[in-house]
Amino acid sequence: MNGRFAPLLQKRGTIEDPSRVIITASVAGIGVGTLGKNATYGYSASKAAVIHLGKNLAVELGPRHILVNMIAPGFFPSKMANELIKMTGGFEELAAGNPSRKLGRPEDIAGLVVFLSSRASAHVNGAVITVDGGEVHGRTPMKVIEAPESKAKL
C-alpha cells in the first residue's frame, strides 16, 4: 500500500477532501466465528488481521490525507455463505435470530460505500463499521455447526 498506491492517493487527497481506502473485512474478525467441525478459525483470524491492518494504515496514512475505513459485513446470501447459512438452519432461521430480523442485501453495503466515499465521511478514519443488523452485538454464544455425517468427515 505505501509503496505503489499511497503516493497516488496522497497526490489526490486534500485536508478538505481526502482520498479513501475502504477495506472489506467481516464480523468474523470482530467476534467468535463458526465453531465445531466446520470451524472457520483461519477465516476469522484473517479478517481480524485485515481489520488491524486497516487501523494501522489509518494512523499511518491519515496525516497524508488518506482515510482508511473497514466494512465488516455479517451474513449476506452469497455463493460463499449460502452453504454455511443452510448448515445453521437456513435463511429464515438465521434471519429470525438477527435483531433486525433479516439478512443483509447488496444495497446495505452499497449505501455504506457511497457514504465512506463521499465528503460526508471526511472525518471518519480507522472505523470498523458492521453491516449485520446488530447481530454481532446481540449475539448469544455462537452455535457449534455440525455437518451431516454423510457430507463431511474430519
Active site residues: 43
With a CB cutoff of 8 Å and minimum separation 6, the contacts of 95 are 101, 102, 103
CA dist 49 and 148 (Å) reads 31
Instruction: Kindly state the cell numbers that stand for 103.
Output: 439478512
List the beta bridge partners of residue 60.
Answer: none
CA dist 51 and 118 (Å) reads 21
CA dist 39 and 48 (Å) reads 15
